[in-house]
Amino acid sequence: MKNKVFLNGTIYNAKDAKVSLFDRGYLFSDGIYELIPYFNSKPFLLEDHYKRLQESLKMIGLENPYTKKEWFKNINDFTNNSEYKNYYLYIQVTRGAPKDISDGVLREHAATKNYITAVSMFYSEIDNLQEKNIIGKKSITMEDKRWKKCNIKSISLLFNSYAKTLAYKEGAYEAILIRDDVITEGCSSNVFIVKNNIIKTAPKSNLILPGVTRSFVIEKIIKENGNKLLIENFSKNELLESDEVFITNSTQGILPITIIDNMKINEGICGEITKELYKTFIKYTG
């Protein structure tokens, strides 16, 4: 089943799946996506990912093409033959191409026509978190120049991918974003700091993506470890002066950041609180 894709209810070899040039996802990034990690062949936090998918669809006024039951059946049928044990499932839903182009109008900004919603899925292997060494990564910081609807999991990732490419060129894993001197999030992660044994992360708002991993870490892992948590904004100074920094996302779980803008955090070593959180986290991914 290597390089199979799901497109509108059919499973194809990747090279045989075709979408229209006039798909609004292709022309305008008019669509949303979701990414579900599978650890040891089991979907992790599937319900939460589905809920966010539904919310993103609602926020862009796109009717959900499937019922929850249909989604779960499609997802199951598609992933059942995966040759991987640890992988992410990528799901994309775009408004699609016009049903009728006989009027010759092939592209218009306003979505005024009837469209054939396009649903696609594919999967790709990821690390087994339980076998991974927890190693601190480098990050840069950058001004957050995205639009102010970052809570929608939009397929429009031009800024995110631009910023992350700059980070990559500097040997960094992530670019941590700053808006009005407040740390919002990473290009593909949520950001947490630890200072004097208190963990801090930005509150949910239109300025960040409500990470599924972020919520799980807040509601389950931090509680289980008995750490103190403050959900409030923090500045770039606080970030750089913190004792520990870590980021969360679906494929990495919890990832320590030990160098930011070439400055060492905790002398460049992953802190104890982060380590303990990671240990608790991976118990759930077995």
Binding residues (CB under 6 A) for ligand PLP: these are 160, 185, 187-190, 209, 211-214, 248-250
Based on the residue annotation, tell me whether 223 is a catalytic residue of this protein. Answer: no
Residues 6 or more apart in contact with residue 250 via CB below 8 angstroms: 35, 36, 37, 44, 49, 88, 211, 212, 213
**Is residue 42 left, alpha or beta, with left meaning phi > 0 and alpha meaning psi from -120 to 50?**
beta
Residue 182: which of 174, 193, 166 has the closest Cα?
193
Torsion 260-242-205-54 (CA) sign: positive
CA dihedral angle for residue 276, residue 221, residue 284, residue 267, rounded to 10 degrees: -30
Q: What span, in angstroms and rounded, lies between the C-alpha atoms of 141 and 232?
A: 19
Pick 97 or 183: Cβ nearer ligand PLP? 183
Pick 11 or 134: Cβ nearer ligand PLP? 134
Pick 94 or 160: Cβ nearer ligand PLP? 160
**Beta-strand relationship, 198-201 and 228-231:** parallel
Q: How far apart are the first and last CA of the chain?
A: 23
Q: How far is the CB of 179 from ligand PLP (least distance, A)?
A: 13
Which of 85, 99, 149, 153 is labelled catalytic?
153
Pick 4 or 146: Cβ nearer ligand PLP? 146
Q: How far is the CB of 166 from ligand PLP (least distance, A)?
A: 15
For the chain, where are the E strands, in sequence order? 4-7, 10-13, 31-39, 42-43, 87-98, 115-125, 137-143, 174-179, 182-186, 190-195, 198-201, 228-231, 244-249, 253-260, 263-264
Q: How far is the CB of 257 from ligand PLP (least distance, A)?
A: 14
Q: How far is the CB of 49 from ligand PLP (least distance, A)?
A: 7
Q: How far is the CB of 33 from ligand PLP (least distance, A)?
A: 9
Residue 186: which of 230, 241, 142 has the closest Cα?
142
Q: How far is the CB of 150 from ligand PLP (least distance, A)?
A: 7
Pick 56 or 188: Cβ nearer ligand PLP? 188
Pick 79 or 188: Cβ nearer ligand PLP? 188
Residue 246: which of 194, 187, 178 has the closest Cα?
194
Residue 216: which of 285, 270, 275 has the closest Cα?
285
Take residue 165 and report the two structure tokens written for it. 């490419």
Residues belonging to the active site:
153
